[in-house]
Structure 1
């Protein structure tokens, strides 16, 4: 698999995967015990921006990082899952410059030390890797750390942070119901668990009023100063620019580099969050941050690479790891906007894991996609059978067929489209695992 790093750190993590569960076991007892054995590194961090939400966590994290780095600050970033290499979970801040993924030897050493401190006690690999985050971020100086929640919030392993500079809760919709509940207000209550008494809270765009009400009620109960998208701050497009507004005034900014109108609200949440965290951010830093922001695997365009070359000449190829109905809605809206600007036949190449709602994901594409090709996911043992997934797409009103690989899907799209017709638009997605496999096979891993 091109792009995957054969490394010392990967070997150490794979050892742990053989000893400990790979999934989630929502509790703070084990991570607290482990961190105590390590000297409580989570209490020795720079100011923390803590990010939760069903959708948009990664985007708002990317915007915060880009804006803060444009202001000359060094920024640590923790995200999960990774797409191709484990190192992507740990970006270490660089003074006056762009943060870099942790070096392999440094990560391997941290993993070994955390495993040794755990002493063979029962724990999940995610908890160990979260402890690695705190160890690395405490031992490398930086001005700020952005830490993304793995799952939920209240009992997520990252939620040992006691005094965040700001907590951000992004859009909430149904996902991980087995862990978090089957109603948005229950999921919102879990996400709201990252709020800490008296610490600022930013509530991103919420399409569900019930979720927004829970988040506001929790912030008020904890005495948190809070700002709500659409109420206390907002952003909209005007004459090809992004107009941001909050109680402090207006900012005339470039449209975000990340495609999709949903990114306007994500950018606005990031701007308001860095202000709430106490950082003096100039409009120039906002401009540079929005212009340079990048977030691999989320509406990322593939223009070259081994897989991209298999598609029909002139194809527009996008990859996106969104995997729930909320993500399907915003991604389909973006595809519809692309269609208005540049009409092309849309093909989906989709793989999903068995904890998701495939029909809910596919439904927003009903009037847009010509055909869906469903593929297995090599990077997960929980992947849905492509035949079953094609049936889900059909139930959502789409013409669908299973196919063995993404490469074969791209070749088949070339076979069924005429050379003298408009080149197609191809969206590969439905799972971050699938996107990771695609970026690796294409030879374009995140950097």
Structure 2
């Protein structure tokens, strides 16, 4: 009997670490596992690969705190403009570009893309169960129950294995691989000989596993640097981060290249497919990395290559990041922000593009212990940027639950949050009290689902006056929002 995409998602969700496990790890203060890479190598072996096999992927490996997903998307978009071009090195035409990113917004298959498109449901199910079945066979061969805990890797590791298997099976010419967390011990770091690496802007994030200081975090990110491969990073890195990156690259014999914002991008002569000033450095970094890869593979000594590079930056699409959508007299502004720095950048982008209206809504959630600090940071950023301590007339806090009737779509199920807190709306009520304390003029609401938050905003449009709404915070919220509005179109 054939197994479907739905079957694959149900099986994949069984690999999620539940809240109790995640919380215990966080409370223990345990850092990232130094055995993570040996363990990942063993998982690769169980599905039939050695790390050296992945050298065929000509990988572009990207780490960083902010902008690694956008940078990866820019690189993928640029390289796809060269599809069909014949290499002057080996005479082969460029035919397939892989892109592996996380998290997904609406569909898990968004994480594994080829030529800018997510795997189809049929492709995802095929490669998922090929990976799954190989792991089950390896467990049986070792005398282990394939259903037992530990017989398969956890969620992200499994998807990384599956992505590598997919790209090997599809024979991609390049694989743009975004790290999950960190770099040195990230499961993607089984790549031994990347064609080129990149490290985006660094900041404080995931302190429970990466450390609480910028040098500690920089060390983890620098773990993707490899001998013989150039590494590109932003010239705006702070001195303490630069010191670590310089040291690691020097020790390994990798040339570290600092990248400034491209003058044409800075001036606006090159229009980007992603809005926001902070995307300019991501695009510039992507341009330098793509040029390096194309040059080494023999694809740039041709007419119109510069035009293709620029077109790739213009045509990039990265849903839910610095995105504007219009509905009648309602304008949605959508961007995620899960760290203090990223929520400030999201706020600055919103301040630079939004249309002032009497009815200004915020839909926000962040289901973490930092939620209140992020809400305050967003308010303070907008108050400073807009010179207005009352940036929103209405503020809506909701959970990441998608809809009233169906709850979570299977692709969006998450079991690593505190279910009792979600049920009691604990975080949302605390956020509401926090916002009331910093902006007493705002009309603050708490609702259970994203669907209800969207309905609340749309209700205001019936009054006839223009409405603007900023959806930000958790990327799970952004993904659920997109599922609500896109699901209406396909439903």
Task: State the TM-score, normalizing by the size of structure 1.
Answer: 0.83
Structure 1 residues 336 and 14, CA gap change in structure 2 (3 angstroms): closer
Structure 1 residues 402 and 208, CA gap change in structure 2 (3 angstroms): farther
Q: How far is 1:303 from its partner?
A: 3.6
- Hey, what's the Cα distance between the residues in 2 that align with 1:77 and 1:429? 25
SS in 1 for 2:102: coil
* Structure 2: gaps spanning 5 or more residues: 26-31, 84-93, 140-145, 402-412
Residues 40-59 of structure 1 correspond to what in structure 2 (within 5 A)? 40=49, 42-44=51-53, 45-59=56-70
Structure 1 residues 430 and 220, CA gap change in structure 2 (3 angstroms): same
- Hey, what's the Cα distance between the residues in 2 that align with 1:406 and 1:99? 26
CA-to-partner distance for each residue in 1:59-86, whole Å, 9 max, x for gaps? 0011000000011142011111222222
* Structure 1: gaps spanning 5 or more residues: 242-253, 305-312
Q: How far is 1:142 from its partner?
A: 1.5
Residue 271 (structure 1) aligned with residue 287 (structure 2): yes
- Hey, what's the Cα distance between the residues in 2 that align with 1:420 and 1:442? 20
Structure 1 residues 171 and 397, CA gap change in structure 2 (3 angstroms): farther
Contact kept in structure 1, 2:460 and 2:467, CA below 8 Å: no
Match of 1:221 among 247, 251, 261: 251
Contact kept in structure 1, 2:110 and 2:118, CA below 8 Å: no
Residues 418-429 of structure 1 correspond to what in structure 2 (within 5 A)? 419=463, 421=465, 423-429=466-472
Residue 407 (structure 1) aligned with residue 444 (structure 2): no
Residues 75-154 of structure 1 correspond to what in structure 2 (within 5 A)? 75-93=97-115, 98-102=116-120, 103-116=123-136, 119=139, 120=146, 121=150, 123-154=153-184
- Hey, what's the Cα distance between the residues in 1 that align with 2:247 and 2:281? 21
Q: How far is 1:114 from its partner?
A: 4.4
Residue 299 (structure 1) aligned with residue 319 (structure 2): no
Per the alignment, residue 193 of structure 1 pairs with: 223
Q: CA RMSD in A?
A: 3.1
- Hey, what's the Cα distance between the residues in 2 that align with 1:176 and 1:186? 11
Residue 372 (structure 1) aligned with residue 395 (structure 2): yes
Task: Decide which moves more: 149-158 or 220-229.
Answer: 220-229
Per the alignment, residue 88 of structure 2 pairs with: none
Task: Decide which moves more: 113-122 or 255-264.
Answer: 113-122
Residue 314 (structure 1) aligned with residue 323 (structure 2): no
Structure 1 residues 136 and 274, CA gap change in structure 2 (3 angstroms): same
- Hey, what's the Cα distance between the residues in 1 that align with 2:254 and 2:289? 13
Per the alignment, residue 250 of structure 1 pairs with: none
Greater CA radius of gyration, 1 or 2? 2
Contact kept in structure 2, 1:359 and 1:392, CA below 8 Å: no
- Hey, what's the Cα distance between the residues in 1 that align with 2:332 and 2:205? 26
Contact kept in structure 1, 2:451 and 2:481, CA below 8 Å: no
- Hey, what's the Cα distance between the residues in 2 that align with 1:69 and 1:17? 33
Q: How far is 1:104 from its partner?
A: 3.4
Q: How many pairs align?
A: 414
- Hey, what's the Cα distance between the residues in 1 that align with 2:20 and 2:264? 44
Contact kept in structure 2, 1:17 and 1:125, CA below 8 Å: yes
- More helix as a share of residues: 2
Q: How far is 1:187 from its partner?
A: 1.1
- Hey, what's the Cα distance between the residues in 1 that align with 2:40 and 2:177? 16
- Hey, what's the Cα distance between the residues in 2 that align with 1:140 and 1:302? 35
